[in-house]
Amino acid sequence: MRCRQVCIGRGSLPENQRKRSNCSTSGDLMTYQCLVLGGNWQLAPHREQLKTDPHEVPVPGLVDCAQPPISWQEHDFIWYKTSFECPQIAQNQHVFLQLEQVQFGAQVWLNGQLIGEDIPCYTSQWYDLTTHLNDNNQNILLVRVGQKHTLPEHSAVGNDQEKLAWIPGIWGEVKLHIYGAGRIPWMRIIPDINTGKIHVTTEIEKLSDKTSNFQLQLRIREKSSGRYLAESRNADVTLQGAEIVESHFEIKIPDFQLWTLENPFLYDLEASLRHSAGTLSHKKSVPFGMRAFEIKDGHFYLNGERKVLLGSNIAFHRLLADKQRGNLPWDEAWIKRALVEIPKENNLFFFRIHIGHACNKWYDFADEHGILLEDEWAFWPSSGSKEQTELEFRAWIRENGHHPSIVIWNALNESSDAAITEEIIPRMKKLDPTRPWQHIDFNEDHPYIYSLGPVLNGNKFGYSRSIFELEKSETPSMVNEYKWWWLDYAGNPSQLTEMVAERWLGRQPSREQLLQHQVFLTRELGELWRRLDLDAIMPFVYLSAGEGATANWFFDPLEELKPKPVLQALKNTFSPLGLSIELWDRHFLAGEKRDLRLFLFNDSDQAETVHLQLFFDGHPENIIFEENFQLHRGEHKILPVAVPFPTRIGTYQLCAQLSDEQQQFIADSLKIVHVIASNRTPAGASFPTLAIADPDSEISDYLNAKKLPFVEFPAESENWETVLLVGEGVWKIEKRTREKLTKFVASGGTLIVQEPELGVTLEKHLRLLDDLKIKLEFREEKEMGGYDSYIFIEDPAHELWHGIAPEYLKLFNGALGGEIVSQHHVLPNRDFITHARCGLSLCIPAVMEVKYGKGRVLISRLQMRGRLLDTNSGKGLYERRFDPVAERYFHNLLRWSRGK
């Protein structure tokens, strides 16, 4: 007999929203049935209101989808209501209600009787309805849900400080299971791709008080065709009392097919539990794939082959707070477009489900279409008791362990909990021995460099190891968050991006600049991680709340999923056949030659022949390098190339381009190049009478090499126009000398203080002149800030910037990340004019001028060390070397010092 659901109030449930599944063949004496209670339910903030003025809400969904809308934030609890008729076959059987996913806490009533309550929000809640059913009559089901704050302290619901709202609701399917004398609560399937076998553990639970004999049979079929391939021998099981027993099976699949990204082939394991009387008590079907995922030699392996995981993050529960969300997360066509089609169009195939298990349907789609997932619990940081956490973790693994798409478990985001990592997870690994756990088998890193942090991190910064540690890690290196550059639906900075945007783009960047810089960072950092040969590369965040702190990669409306340009950039950067130019320097002399390295990547599943060209954009006819390469599967190749730079000054892009054997474009790598004319050495009237204190003698050596006159400061003669104090030379001014220097500046002289913070590790106060002090303080910035490589000019017409375009002050040559200004505070105790600035919100003065009497003091923080003498140019990637812009700036300093 067919179970029928009746919706109360606003019309009956449409036929296409009534579901029945897992029924036995007609030859069985009893048909196990599963009724899905989906569709529209009634909703009200008070139980009594369900009778008089109910709202209507879809299940699954959340309470903010109610019609007419409900002020859900104003009520601690909200009531759901539906009804169903139970078939005759349910008489004398056992009927259980399954709430697959409900938040936050549920209390269940049937026909006016309290059945029970529970608090898991991400895994199933089960209720025995058997003794409270109205046979052959309408049954009234009520489910009360709460707000997050109504959960008890021991709840493992978790935390997320960036989530816009915690909206309650029944967000998973609701099912009614009709069992016979027993059921199969759980089946574990462990595939062995080496033997073609699966190892199966089943639990059998007796639902009556009497001793019962059961017969269990397992069969394997292809999910797509339904064709049966193998079966187990029948297992006879006797249960006494209320107990659960385990049975173990080994079944070989003939000519099995692997589950792969390209061919996500699925099987069904079908278990039939028959009572000794011949009735079918339960039929359970679990999909699975024949695949293996493991860590070996410090890398990830899928089906025995190394796999570099390329993708992003889906913050599903943040998405649930998006005002445009509606019922999209439960719409199958929308899910497929968001989770499968758009990612695969853009070379993404791996996602971290961030801060909370998603709707179960998403994992089914990932299984069916070849998407890999890292499933993360909603702990940022952890919450609740150890006992409740273990209870919910156990349910999490048991309910989801069959998904071939899930390849990694993750318990904690950017936090630690010894009870979880040292006690609970080891027990979970026994429950599922097939998957690695982040925090245990490897660590994740969130290098928010070139955004919240500096261009590159040579030390631990934020929640990330240095780039050198990432490259040499003995366990897989996963960067599953990076690129702190989040733009809302309109392309404007999110709240967390506002202070970062000015650091890299200057004041009031346009929407187009913001979107293009997101593209630039996507390419630059993605290529960096591939050059470092990392194992998982996942910028943050593909899908989340568009109005939230971290936004997403789509323009509005959310329903249409219109990608921002960042996704096209990822398509290029994550191309399985990819490439990258290793180049951080941006300033080159006209006609200069430089030895560079090109990286080629073949992360496809087969050998490929590619055609490589290297040229400057706009001039593809002038090929610098061109060659065909045969790349083996998984091969990463490094090519040294000598590059002659253009002889004409200007700004270019150095372009490396890959194409296939038919000359069809595959991917490219682009690097900004400023070609600059050689600087003329200042002389005559443009060069001041100079006294210099330079303990390291680098600037002195430069002046000598250029045959520019100067005297050591202090000197017997005081016929100076300009005094230049460099680095530690600032610290060594004695009182008597300071008095002379004070008089010199006050009477119209110029004092230049160059990088006075050099060598300061804590805090130092320096008296430059009698009543002019500067405070030097190393900034302890471990999560944001750091050194700066982008400097912004206040007045481009100022003499200091003659011949220096604003774009030239983005990365000096050499040093880690092209560092220009160090991680210090440098502030004088008198009013000053800021000529250039940098840092988050551009709050760090980089060049300051203090008026003093008739003279002036210039505090310059732009680093010229190691960048003035061509003979000192370093060969290493991060060694300081000659920079024509740094040299030009030094010349401008000297010329400016003669002005009045």
Say what the pLDDT of residue 874 is.
67
Q: What is the pLDDT of residues 502-561, one digit of tens each?
A: 999 999 999 999 999 999 999 999 999 999 999 999 999 999 999 999 999 999 999 999
Say what the pLDDT of residue 681 is.
86
> What is the three-state SS of 563-600?
ECHHHHHHHHHCCCEEEEEECCCCEEECCCEEEEEEEE
Whether the predicted pLDDT of 16 surpasses 60: no
Say what the pLDDT of residue 733 is.
79
Q: Residues near 20 by Cβ (< 8 Å), separated by ≥ 6? A: 2, 3, 33, 34, 35, 36
Cβ–Cβ under 8 Å, residues 171 and 58: no
Say what the pLDDT of residue 872 is.
58
Confidence of residue 729 (pLDDT cuts 50, 70, 90): confident
Say what the pLDDT of residue 11 is.
28
Q: Residues near 826 by Cβ (< 8 Å), separated by ≥ 6? A: 756, 757, 774, 775, 776, 845, 848, 859, 861
Q: What is the pLDDT of residues 388-447, one digit of tens each?
A: 999 999 999 999 999 999 999 999 999 999 999 999 999 999 999 999 999 999 999 999
Say what the pLDDT of residue 428 is.
98
Q: What is the pLDDT of residues 284-315, one digit of tens each?
A: 999 999 999 999 999 999 999 999 999 999 99
Say what the pLDDT of residue 192 is.
98
* Rounded distance between C-alpha atoms, residue 513 and residue 696, angstroms: 41
* Rounded distance between C-alpha atoms, residue 335 and residue 360, angstroms: 11
Confidence of residue 620 (pLDDT cuts 50, 70, 90): low
Tokens of 793: 């000019």
Of 585, 450, 599, 606, residue with least CA distance to 525 = 450
Q: Residue 627: helix, strand or coil by DSSP?
A: strand
Confidence of residue 13 (pLDDT cuts 50, 70, 90): very low
Say what the pLDDT of residue 279 is.
87
Q: What is the pLDDT of residues 732-744, one digit of tens each?
A: 778 888 999 999 9
Rounded to an integer, the average pLDDT of 41-45 is 97
Q: Residue 412: helix, strand or coil by DSSP?
A: coil
> What is the three-state SS of 530-570?
HHCCCCEECCCCCECCCCCCCCCCEECCHHHCEECHHHHHH
Say what the pLDDT of residue 221 is.
98
Q: What is the pLDDT of residues 120-146, one digit of tens each?
A: 999 999 999 999 998 778 999 999 999
Whether the predicted pLDDT of 249 surpasses 60: yes
State the Cα torsion 397-399-404-409 to the nearest 10°: -30
Domains of the chain: 4-179 (2.60.120.260), 182-288 (2.60.40.10), 293-573 (3.20.20.80), 597-675 (2.60.40.10), 684-898 (3.40.50.880)
Rounded to an integer, the average pLDDT of 708-716 is 87
Say what the pLDDT of residue 151 is.
98
Say what the pLDDT of residue 17 is.
38
Say what the pLDDT of residue 490 is.
96
* Rounded distance between C-alpha atoms, residue 777 and residue 391, angstroms: 50
Rounded to an integer, the average pLDDT of 695-719 is 88
Q: Residues near 230 by Cβ (< 8 Å), separated by ≥ 6? A: 219, 220, 251, 252, 253, 254
Say what the pLDDT of residue 900 is.
57
Whether the predicted pLDDT of 30 surpasses 90: no
Share the mean pLDDT of the chain. Answer: 93
Share of the chain above pLDDT 90, in %: 86
Say what the pLDDT of residue 198 is.
98
Of 894, 877, 856, residue with least CA distance to 685 = 894
Say what the pLDDT of residue 205 is.
94
Evaluate the omega torsion of the peptide bond into residue 45 and state whether it is cis, within 30 degrees of 0.
no
Of 615, 610, 622, residue with least CA distance to 670 = 615
**CA separation, residue 883 to residues 80, 172, 654, 786 (Å):** 69, 60, 18, 22
Q: Residue 219: helix, strand or coil by DSSP?
A: strand
- Ramachandran angles phi, psi of 725, nearest 5°: -110, 125
Say what the pLDDT of residue 566 is.
99
**Structure letter (DSSP) for residue 264:** B
**CA separation, residue 279 to residues 175, 214, 355 (Å):** 22, 10, 43
| Burial bucket for residue 764 (CB in 10 Å: 0-12, 13-18, 19+) | middle
* Rounded distance between C-alpha atoms, residue 900 and residue 897, angstroms: 8
* Rounded distance between C-alpha atoms, residue 503 and residue 843, angstroms: 9
Confidence of residue 22 (pLDDT cuts 50, 70, 90): very low
Taking the CA atoms of 396, 401, 403 and 409 in sequence, report the sign of the dihedral they define.
Answer: positive
Of 100, 155, 147, residue with least CA distance to 389 = 155
Rounded to an integer, the average pLDDT of 565-585 is 98
Q: In what order do the strands lie in the sheet with 244-252?
A: 182-192, 197-206, 244-252
Hey, what amino acid is at 555? F
Tokens of 731: 């610290």
Whether the predicted pLDDT of 873 surpasses 70: no
Say what the pLDDT of residue 240 is.
84
Say what the pLDDT of residue 168 is.
99
Confidence of residue 23 (pLDDT cuts 50, 70, 90): very low
CB atoms inside a 10 Å sphere around CB 699: 23
Share of the chain above pLDDT 70, in %: 95
Evaluate the omega torsion of the peptide bond into residue 96 and state whether it is cis, within 30 degrees of 0.
no
Q: Where are the beta strands (DSSP E) in 309-380?
A: 309-314, 350-353, 372-376
